[in-house]
Chains A and B, each alone.
Chain A
Amino acid sequence: MTDQKAPPEHRVVLPVDPARRTEIDKQRVPMSARPYRLLALVKQDAVVRVQKEPDDTVMTWPHLLSIEFLAAVFMSVFLLFMGLFVNAPLEELANPNVTPEVAKAPWYFLGLQELLAYFHPTVAGALVPLFVLVGAAMIPFVDRENIRANRPSDRKTAVVLFSLFCGLGLVLTFLGIFFRGPGYAFTLPWVSGFHFSL
């Protein structure tokens, strides 16, 4: 039992903003908001609680674990149905001598393959991915302005830049998936159909 003692909390816990109170909050009346207590009627367990500071936390069991459990159940059911009704693609045996009409990288690399159509291979194939990975890892050390701001509205530059970047990636990937056909030439999906497999 001795090892179960929670470490002292140094964090200052502010009461929850009234506008953001949920059902869970409403059950947890802060001590300061309660003008009186019926000491004679409190149960043993409640007396223990009196010594605790009011805070904005809830028990992991059941509040967090039930949500995690539900999410896992939904995901399992979804995967089961996908697995039952949609077959993973499989084509003929690999043949190094026969280049298929449509040869595309997996979808998460299709943005790069799309760039390959516009830029020198060194740029599209090596410099851009390097820049993306290293750049992503450096974000926390570059974005030092407004160091405490976490609301999107308080850090518009970061949010706009990041959104532009994601949008660009999305557009390139979409082009690669839907608008490229045999020989990686430009096609319109509603004219020549889809040339893509997952």
Chain B
Amino acid sequence: MSFLERVDQTIRRSPVFRSIFRNPYPNDERSRAYAVMNNVFLHLHPVRVRQHAVKFAYTFCLGGLSFFLFLVLTVTGVYLMFFYAPSATQAYSDILQIQSQVPFGLLTRNIHRWAAHLMVFFVFLHMMRVFYHGAYKPPREFNWVVGVVLLFLTLFLSFTGYLLPWDQIAYWAITIGSNMAGYAPLFNTPSKTLLLAGLEVSGNTLLRFYVLHIMVFPLVAAVFLAVHFWRIRKDGGISGPL
């Protein structure tokens, strides 16, 4: 036995390792079933899936990748939060600090930005793939509605995040975007004050968008994602085959 093999064996036989992973590496059908069932993260999946559903060309992994991007955004976002204060006087200089002083700050900000755009894009694509497969038809009507809520949440997660750098792009994009809310008949002023915490984009808006961005929308999205995934299984797994 080579040195590495011995190390590997020692680790696998140690009480600590065996307290974490109860079963040996899954090689047969039975242990593979346990591997999925007994793991809190994997048990989101059923033990077996219909074989057309695992083909890349059926889902193009779009829903899964949207979720993966959501996770990436959570991790990078938490890191950015350590170095960012949502005030009109500090936000912009914090971003400059993140880019120049914070270890991996620039990289983290870049990844957070690109992952955010990509997530919006992938959620759109996922919705299209679901439509073209007629996967919103019974019994999946409700999961489609949950999906529409998720689309709305994704858009507003991105939109609220867009303001946070507090630079000219952010300020004016949000001004234009939220002017649209002000065009709602009858309740234009209330809907604008609700969104912006004032009649125009200000430090109050920044705080409001920050809280929505880092707390409210992610939590609500997590709840809807849980329902979305739960319903996929309760509706009999992925739709199809075509």
Contacts and interface: CB of A to CB of B under 8 A. Distances in A.
Interface of A: 4, 6, 11, 16-17, 20, 22, 24-25, 45, 48-49, 55-65, 67-68, 71-72, 75-76, 79-80, 82-84, 86-96, 98-100, 103-109, 112-113, 116, 121-122, 124-126, 129, 133, 136-137, 139-141, 143, 147-152, 155, 158-159, 162, 166, 197-198
Nearest to A61: B32
A64 B200 CA distance: 49
B186 to A, nearest CB: 10
Contacts, number: 231
A86 B110 contact: yes
Contact of A83 (B28, B34, B114, B124): B114
Given A49-B29, A79-B115, A147-B137, A22 B51 contact: yes
Interface residues of B, number: 96
Interface string B123-152: 010011001111111101100110010011
Interface centre among A64, A95, A106, A149 (most CB of B within 10 A): A106
A137 B145 CA distance: 5
Interface string B169-200: 11111011101111111000000000000001
Interface centre among B50, B166, B172 (most CB of A within 10 A): B172
Given A61-B36, A88-B109, 20 more contacts: A6-B47, A22-B55, A59-B29, A60-B49, A71-B68, A72-B65, A75-B72, A82-B110, A84-B107, A93-B168, A96-B171, A96-B202, A100-B168, A105-B180, A106-B177, A109-B180, A116-B180, A125-B181, A140-B136, A140-B137
Given A4-B34, A92-B168, A150-B242, A79 B111 contact: yes
B165 A90 contact: yes
Contacts of B112: 88
Contact of A141 (B54, B120, B141, B175): B141
Interface of B: 26, 28-30, 32-37, 42, 45-56, 61, 64-65, 68-69, 72, 88, 92, 95-96, 99, 106-115, 117-118, 120, 124, 127-128, 131-138, 140-141, 144-145, 148, 151-152, 155, 158-159, 162, 165-173, 175-177, 179-185, 200-202, 236, 239-242
